[in-house]
Structures are given as C-alpha cells and as structure tokens.
Structure 1
C-alpha cells in the first residue's frame, strides 16, 4: 500500500509545476466560487506564465552554465564532491520513504495554521514541497528515526510559513507582487540575514549612502543603466572571464540582456492569471471572516528571481563564488550545477536590501561561504540518502555528491544537527531566537500605525 501511495505521488508530482500549479489553481478557484470559465482561464494563464518564466530561466541556466563550467576548468582545481545542482535533490526527496507522508502532512499543517490564525500563507506550490521532503529525508537518514524525519519536515514547514508571512508585505510592495508570499525554503530562510546585514551596512560610511538599485543606476547611467544593458555588460564580462571567443562572449551578453528584459514581462502574465483567484479568496474571506483579508497565495520563488536586481546580484556573485571555492581552506565542493541558480538564495537578501546590488553582493559572500562549508560537510549524508533510494548518479560522480546551495542550506544543516542531539545546535536555539526577534523589531519600523508598509518604502525595480 505504501509503495502504491509513493508511486501515486511521484506520478502526480512528475507533471512538474507548469502542469500541477494550474490544476491546483483551478480546483482552488472553484472552491472559492469563481465561475468555471473564469477559473479555467486563470489557471491556463498562470500555467503559461510559468512556462514563460521557466523558458527564460532555462535560457539563463543554459547561458551561464557553460560559462561557469569554463571558469571552473580554468582554475585547474579538482575538488572531490560533485555539485549536481538541485534537480537530483528534488528527485531524491520525492523518492524518499518520508515523502508520501510529508506531503499530506504539509497540506494539513498549512490548513490548521490558517484556521488557528498562525499563518497568512496558503502554500499552493506543491512542487516545492520537495524542500520539506528533503529536510525530512536528511533527518531520517542521519538518525534512522522515521518519526524524527517527519518532525524535521514539520518544523521546516512551520518556520518557512512564518518567514513567508514576515517577508510577504515586502514582496508585495518591493517586487510588485500583490497578494503573494514566497514559501520556498531555499530562499526565505535568508530573509532575516538580509534584514540584519542591511542594518549593519547602514552604519558603515560610504556604503550606507551608496545607491546601487537598478532604478538609481538607470538614472545615473541613462540607457546603459537599463536592466537589459546591465545584463548585456555582465554577460560580456562573464564571457571574457570564461575565456570565450568573441562571438560566444557577445552571444552570452545578448542572452543575459534578453533574460533581464523578458523575465519581468513573463511575471506580469502570471499575475494576470492569479488576480481573479486572489480577488476571489479575499472576497470570500472578507464575507466569512471579516478580519482575514490578509491571506496570501504562496508561490514558487521563480516569480521573484526575474527581478533585475536579483539577476544582476547573482551574475556578479558567479565568479566570486568560484573564487571562494578555490581559495577557502577545507572546502571540498566546486560549485557547478547550482551556479546558474544563485538567484534563489540571493533573492530575499536583495529584497531586504531594497534592491541595492552592492549591498546584496557584500551580504551574499558570507552566505556562499557558509553554503560551501556545509555542503562539503553534508556530502556523505546526501550521498547516503541518494544510495538508499538507488538514485542513478550522474557520470563522474563516483564518490560524493551534493548540491552546494540546497545541500549546503544552513537551515537544513541546523535541523540535521539538532536531530542528532548536537549540543551546539541545541545551544544556539535561544541565540537564533534573539537574532530573529531583533531582525523582526528592525522591520517593524517600516510599517505605519495601520500595519501597512510606509509609502516611502520604495519598490525594487
């Protein structure tokens, strides 16, 4: 029976987000009394919006990937852990023994938290439940205790939903995504780091007065400050660092410029489809629960990574990440598979920094350093999980595998160490609590007496 349930989940999840999300949206829209025709159109438009987003995102990956590989090859360094990127980790997570139980548990937890007013986020992004499954799979493999695996997933779910609630007002205003929250574990856990880091940088002369968001850059440099021109220039720089020929350098520049130009337009298409569902949710909640008009729809981080400031920060961090991997003593993983997806962990740091690219790069460096060391440390555990479900290893990955971003995520690392009864992991709980409380107090100053973000809080554009 368990095997059949697992196969059923894997079959449905195999549809991918571009098919799954429209189905979920259509069902939800009907539940919230949207007319069938309108619900169908919204679902299809949302699906096509995601198709467009992923097409452009794949262009980013296919453009940056070979350049990153060439830069890695030019270092001449051969590190023992193979960076497979996040897709194999998602496959491993959904194939793990805990997955059939984690997915319905997450849905139930979300419903209970909504009913008890513990969260405002309705997480309809079923595809990204793999993040919760992977956390549970790591804990289960580290402890051998199935219950601990489920508990790890549950803790991850609760914390991610709370962080999504916290960051949601900023996402709606600064990223211009009304009614949206982003409960993607690999991104939202870095929001408090961005808040605290930005506060620290406010006290440093020179940096605190430096305006480096896309809007300020465009005002200063005119046409050369437009997002597409920034993408073109950064693409040319990366191509030169990769040792590409002139035609390849120019092609890379054009591709990255196109990503910067087209991605925000794809997001607008997605939002066109989402608005009817969002309006219906609010209308019904206002009728049934007059004080619950604050409900947000939880979506994939993909709707935010198309922001020009996010892409610019990730492109600048690409050569820096390779350099860090080469010079850091004790690092065992060479970033490769995950390099094109640096946009994900950096997105909410950019959000906290109001789109300031320079600040985001500065704060991104310690985050990447932590990821590299954690990915190196957890690679035997991740490899163990992969072998336990008979995962087919990529060619050349004969020993250790991991993903330097998702496999090196500090939050998942803390969960694993906590489940093993590590004294340090237990001891830092009050410290983490105080730090998060401090970051929360900092953000409270951004809101007026009605609980709304102040008008002066400018959009990241």
Structure 2
C-alpha cells in the first residue's frame, strides 16, 4: 500500500501540465489517432494549461491578499477558519483511503462509460481529490473502509451525472466543444445553484433585470468591456481592502488581466483538444453508431468568461458580509474566497451570463455553504490534523470547497446517520 501511495503521489506531483497531456495522448492512441497528431495536440494542451495556471495564479495571488485584508478591516471574529481548498485537497490525498480510491474511481468511471450510465470520461485526475474527500469523510465518521469507498463512489457517480446533464450548456455557453466539467465543487454548487437561479429569474421585476457582458458593453461602451469591468471591480475590492490608490489600481489591472488573458489561454488549449475530440467522436460514431463521449476536464476552463469572473469577484465582499450577518455561522471566509468563480460556473451558464441573477443565486448558495461548512467543522478539523499547521489560537478549521460543498455535506449526514444506527 505504501508503494502504491508513493507511486500515485509522484504522478500527482507532476501536476496537470504533465498528467493531462499524457492522459490525452494515451486516449488519442487508444482511439487510433495518428501518433504525430496525437503528440502535437497533447503538447498544445499542456501549453494551454500552463497558461491557464499562470492566469489563475494571477487571480489568486492578487485577490487572496485583498480578501484577507478585507477580513481584517471588517473586524470579523469567527471561531472556524476557512483554510481553503489546497489544505483540504492535501488532507484528502493524505487520508488512509486515498491510494486505493484513485484507481478504483478511475475504473468505476470506465465501467459506467462502458455500460452507458455516463458519457463523461473524467481525465482530470488531480480533481479526484473531491472523491477522496467524500471517502475520507465516511472513514472518519465510521472508521469503515468499505463505507469510505461507497461514499467516494456515490460522490463520483452524482458528479458524473451532473457533468453529463450540464455538458450541452457548458459546450454552448463556454464554447468548450466535446467537453464536460466534472469538478466536484463546481458540480455540487451547481446542483443547488441552478434551480435557485431559475427561481430568481421568475420573480416579477427581477426577471426583467439583465446584465450580461454584451448588454453592459452596449450600454456603457468601453467601460462595459470585460477587461475594464475587471479593472473597475478589482479597483473597488482594493478600496474595500483599504489599499492606497496605487495598489488598488494595481489590483484592478490584475483582475482586468485575468478577464483579458484567460479566454486566450482556453483558446490555446482548445486548439489542441478539438482535433482529438473530433477524432474520438468520429471513431465512436463508426464503431458504436454515434456513441457520444465527453472529455471531463477542470472547471478552470470556464473561469475566463467575463460573466463568470465578474460574478465571482462581486461575491467576495458579499460572502464576508454574509459571514457576519447569518445566524449560526461560525466560519471565517478566508482561503476559498479567491475560488468562488469555480463555484458559480454552472450558475452563470444556466443564467446565460446574467450577472445580476447569478450574483443573487450565488448569494443564497454561499449562505447555505457557510452553514454547511460550520456544521462540517469538527470532522474537517479531524481530517486536517497532522497535515495542516493550524494558525496560533485556531482550534477548528473548515473550507467552503469541501466543508461547504453541498454533496460532501450530504455524504457527512449520510455517514453520521448510519453510524448512529449501527
């Protein structure tokens, strides 16, 4: 088991820029794409992900400190600290069940694809950590390996089904042909966020409010362009963080850069992915009479849409306000504030880019997420022991990505119910 764990960790430590091209190349060869074409496409995809990671780094490296400064400025004093998805992922990979769950989850996906339960082939191995987190949750509550595996499988199957159902929307709105997004947090927040967004769009008065990037650009001209929207929103966040004018403008430029650069990075990745996707579909059409397969990739591909990033940025200060005013919340939003755009990807797409409706739906979803993360605190803290160095004075930790994840919270309740019965 230790050998298997070490091998898995070595592969994962190579990162998405190595794992993804390798996975794409192997899939292309399996589906009889020419070696030269498969190799070139895989390298382009790797380069595209290098660019995407750089832009996401630009987002988190600049937005994270501003969000943390806002926490201090608002004087928020809550007892459970949101340590963010990186620490949750590290704890998930370090859990006793992780090494065995990675190959099992991959085999389950292939089996479900073969028997036509899903159309998604999830090659985003790094984000399997969400499945590991569900398994680790089940293990911590019950101490049972088999139940832990069941929890991971339940989470994975639900995520794959959501990815299938949302694939047409994702492909149309984000322009990601042949792609689905089986990222655990994106799927889970979308599961409750999409129906909430639909209900909001039916409220008289609110249903007439429209603020998608195209409408904003038509009405405000240059000030409605995505990069200028990023500049303005980033500048306002800088002022809320009590930055001086120069640093607030610097943050605005960085957010404008994210809006301007991300679509171009995604375009590079798609340049490599489309030939492979077309070849796979052509092969399946001939051999299996039109069988459709979606390649499951990271929801980072959706972050560059102006409506998505704008919604995510607006929700940062809103989330901090929610943390203070929601009765029963004990979570101090911190580490996951910069990743809110991942949580609203499906919400924004389902509202066809309407930023007003998306922000309203996101506000409700994040309110629920804070309460779930609060309830998840004790189990989350237990999972993090020995993996994460708690800040001085902090006794409990949680996260929006894992503790506030609706699907993972359901797994927690399921585990606690069975543990109380048996």
TM-score by length of 2: 0.97
Q: Distance in 2 between matches of 1:279 and 1:291?
A: 12
Q: Distance in 1 between matches of 2:357 and 2:112?
A: 35
* Consecutive unaligned residues in structure 2, runs of 5 or more: none
Q: Distance in 1 between matches of 2:47 and 2:113?
A: 29
2:324 aligns with 326
1:47 aligns with 46
Alignment pair present for 1:343 and 2:341:
yes
Q: Distance in 2 between matches of 1:423 and 1:149?
A: 12
Contact map agreement 1:227 1:308 (CA 8 A) in 2: yes
Alignment pair present for 1:365 and 2:344:
no
2:388 aligns with 392
Within a 5 Å distance, the mapping from 1:311-460 to structure 2 comes to 311-387=309-385, 390-396=386-392, 398-421=394-417
**1:183-203 Cα distance to aligned partner (Å, 9 max, x none):** 011001233434322332232
1:300 aligns with 298
Runs of 4+ in structure 1 deviating by more than 6 angstroms, as ranges, are: none
Q: Distance in 2 between matches of 1:117 and 1:30?
A: 22
Give the Å deviation of 1:257: 0.6
Within a 5 Å distance, the mapping from 1:176-255 to structure 2 comes to 176-255=175-254
Q: What is the root-mean-square deviation of aligned Cα atoms in Å? A: 1.7
Within a 5 Å distance, the mapping from 1:165-184 to structure 2 comes to 165-184=164-183
Matched residue of 2:169: which SS?
helix
* Consecutive unaligned residues in structure 1, runs of 5 or more: 425-461
Matched residue of 2:344: which SS?
helix
Provide closer, same or farther for how the CA distance between residues 414 and 284 of structure 1 changes in structure 2, counting only shifts above 3 A. Answer: same
Within a 5 Å distance, the mapping from 1:13-28 to structure 2 comes to 13-28=12-27
Matched residue of 2:101: which SS?
helix
Matched residue of 1:315: which SS?
helix
Contact map agreement 2:231 2:252 (CA 8 A) in 1: yes
TM-score by length of 1: 0.89
1:7 aligns with 6
**1:217-255 Cα distance to aligned partner (Å, 9 max, x none):** 111111111100100110111111111101001111111
Q: Distance in 2 between matches of 1:305 and 1:62?
A: 15
Provide closer, same or farther for how the CA distance between residues 309 and 104 of structure 1 changes in structure 2, counting only shifts above 3 A. Answer: same
Q: Distance in 1 between matches of 2:195 and 2:372?
A: 21
Q: Distance in 2 between matches of 1:197 and 1:380?
A: 29
1:85 aligns with 84
Number of residues paired by the alignment? 421
**1:329-379 Cα distance to aligned partner (Å, 9 max, x none):** 222111111100001111111111111100011111111111111111111
**1:237-288 Cα distance to aligned partner (Å, 9 max, x none):** 1111111101001111111111111100100001001112101211211121
Contact map agreement 1:212 1:356 (CA 8 A) in 2: yes
